[in-house]
Amino acid sequence: MHTKYTDSAPRWFDRLCLKIIDSVFRPMSLGSLVMILPDGHRLNYGKGHEIEAVIHIHDMRFFRRCVLFGSVGFGEAYVDGDWSTADITDVIRWMLLNHENHPTIATDRDKKSPVNWVGMINKCYGWFRQNTLRGSRRNIADHYDLNNDFFRLWLDPTMTYSAAYFQDPQQTLEEAQFAKYEVLCRKLQLRPTDHVLEIGTGWGGFAEHAAKHYGCRVTTVTISKEQYKYAKERIFRAGLTGKVDVQLKDYRHLTGSYDKVASIEMIEAVGHKYLKEYFATIHRVLKKDGLVAIQMILFPDHRYEIARRNTDWIQKHIFPGSLLPSVRSVQQAINATGTLNLHHYEDMTPSYAKTLKIWYHLFNKQIARVKKLGMDDRFVRKWNFYLCYCEAAFKMRHISVVQAVYSRPNNLNLNDPLEFALSDKDQAFIGQL
């Protein structure tokens, strides 16, 4: 955080920064934002009704943090209690709505902006969180090794921490997570004779589903010690130790050969520098007629190069070392390392926005228990900002989530992609779980 530096700023600098932020927000005409200052004075931006948001400023240092550190400072100011709102998602959505035509306080732009004066500090932070073998373990531990009990409080019973697959407004989160696993298994055309590799275990949900419902063998790897421990116990309780092998291993150390490869929202932790190595590993261990299914969060191509040269709030405070790939960066890495071809591609972005909204409400129902685990109010604000930040980004299509299936050429065992869809009978079965 930058509080020591910014707290020492004189009042005249606060007033200057207020004027700068006012000049940045003033041209934003889409939707509306009301900013209420500590003295009760109201600043109004935009007259539209597409998105309406209100923020309360509690400390004038909010403005200098935005000017000095852009969107990273904006998020840090919320976490420190410098501002509040009844709806974080709508505040972020309003900024994203105006993002393309005006500089806002975003730090992922090439256009000149009057904010983010010392953003190089955050950029340097990203340089020190590279995904080397040691760096990856540290980066993953910072988030996923928080506490299994913490995640258990607000994730659904499947302990799944990735986008669910909603096809029916009446589906519960648990049903939609089951549907996600089921669709991925179908896209992989799983058979009892298959040996499946999963890169990124999570808490073991996919491995258990594939082994239990399709009878295949699964080798799943993770570098999170907490997830490894949980997944091992989970597989033991499910009576699947003869089917599922959970390993504490970096994907770069994989050996052997596999009929199918699955990876659910792990590629975001790879980073630009290691993207080719990730796909080279998959190509190396995949059998000739094998299939690969990857669920991944994507930046749009036109923002990828800008994003990879900067460090945003999520990368600094939630997922250090991470970088969302783009369609082009993924395809370039695939083309440079092997002969995989795209077989099937499905966008499921609205499902992630809904997943995050549900997570937000489940998390906030458990605040008292979260605090009993030793987390303070600042931690709660950080996680609320994170969940709403992501929900807004998916809702506004500034990022997307897809499932992509790859195969080598001349694979005669491929099914028609239309066979992947869940039937009404399937949906009824899931609803009975």
Instruction: Supply the Cα-derived Rg of the chain in whole angstroms.
Output: 23
The H-assigned helical ranges of 272-420 are: 275-285, 301-308, 313-317, 327-337, 349-365, 367-372, 377-395
The amino acid at residue 142 is D
Choose, from 17, 185, 388, 390, the residue flagged as catalytic. Answer: 390
Alpha-carbon span 206 to 199, nearest angstrom: 11
310 CB neighbour count, 10 Å cutoff: 21
Tokens of 84: 């509040």
Closest Cα partner for 178 from 160, 191, 196, 161?
160
Query: Residue 303 in contact with residue 397, Cβ under 8 Å?
Result: no
**Residue 216 is a catalytic residue:** no
Query: Residue 316 in contact with residue 342, Cβ under 8 Å?
Result: no
CA distances from 148 to 143, 160, 231, 239, 433 (A): 11, 12, 11, 21, 24
Tokens of 101: 């035509």
Alpha-carbon span 14 to 251, nearest angstrom: 48
The amino acid at residue 309 is R
Active site residues: 390
